[in-house]
């Protein structure tokens, strides 16, 4: 696992999270901010997992220094091999070292089992449809 530039993540974000639709945005306005952190995992030279973190207002525990996770994705053919858990573990260690106290995300309901396995909690009553993908999501968070 390593820090990467957000540009390196666009192709994986689009393919895994946006149905490979060339019309869909895979850019967060905060991508290039100095305070944003992007992580990727590689097998040989191939990017197989991505996760991006942005400083954010916390939807829960609002006194904690909090970052938002977006664009969590493992490539289709290597899902279930531990890469998702590994990139989160790596990122959380880096964030903790920077003084970050909590992370949160709009988690896809289809991925909530993954987040439960990696120590995240659900914010009760936060179920909603994503305005971007129209898929069911729930606010999740983890105190680091």
Dihedral angle over CA of 144, 112, 105, 24, nearest 10: 150
Longest dimension (CA), the chain: 42
Residue of 19, 22, 99, 113 that binds ligand COA (CB under 6 A): 113
Q: Which positions from 122 to 141 touch ligand COA by CB under 6 A, shown as an x/- string?
A: --------------------
| Distance in Å, CB of 88 to ligand COA, minimum | 8
- Any contact of residue 120 with ligand COA (CB under 6 A)? no
C-alpha 77/C-alpha 131 separation (Å) is 27
Name the residue number minimizing CB distance to ligand COA.
113
C-alpha 54/C-alpha 66 separation (Å) is 9
In sequence order, the β-bridge partners of residue 70 are 52
3-class DSSP assignment, residue 66: strand
Q: What contacts 19, CB < 8 A, 6 or more positions away? A: none
Residue of 32, 82, 127, 132 that binds ligand COA (CB under 6 A): 82
| Distance in Å, CB of 47 to ligand COA, minimum | 12
- Phi and psi at 120, nearest 5°, equal -90, 155
- Any contact of residue 17 with ligand COA (CB under 6 A)? yes
- Any contact of residue 117 with ligand COA (CB under 6 A)? yes
Q: Report the interface residues with ligand COA, using CB under 6 A.
A: 16-17, 72-74, 79-85, 107-108, 110-111, 113-114, 117
């Amino acid at each position: 696992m390593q820090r990467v530039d957000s540009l390196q993540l666009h192709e994986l974000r689009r393919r895994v999270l946006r149905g490979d639709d060339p019309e869909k945005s895979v850019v967060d306005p905060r991508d290039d901010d100095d305070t944003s952190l992007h992580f990727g995992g590689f097998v040989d030279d191939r990017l197989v997992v991505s996760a991006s973190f942005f400083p954010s207002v916390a939807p829960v525990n609002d006194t904690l220094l909090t970052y938002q996770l977006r664009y969590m994705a493992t490539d289709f053919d290597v899902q279930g091999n531990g890469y998702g858990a590994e990139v989160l573990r790596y990122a959380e260690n880096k964030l903790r070292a920077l003084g970050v106290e909590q992370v949160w995300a709009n988690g896809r309901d289809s991925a909530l089992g993954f987040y439960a396995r990696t120590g995240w909690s659900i914010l009760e009553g936060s179920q909603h449809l994503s305005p971007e993908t129209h898929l069911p999501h729930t606010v999740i968070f983890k105190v680091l």
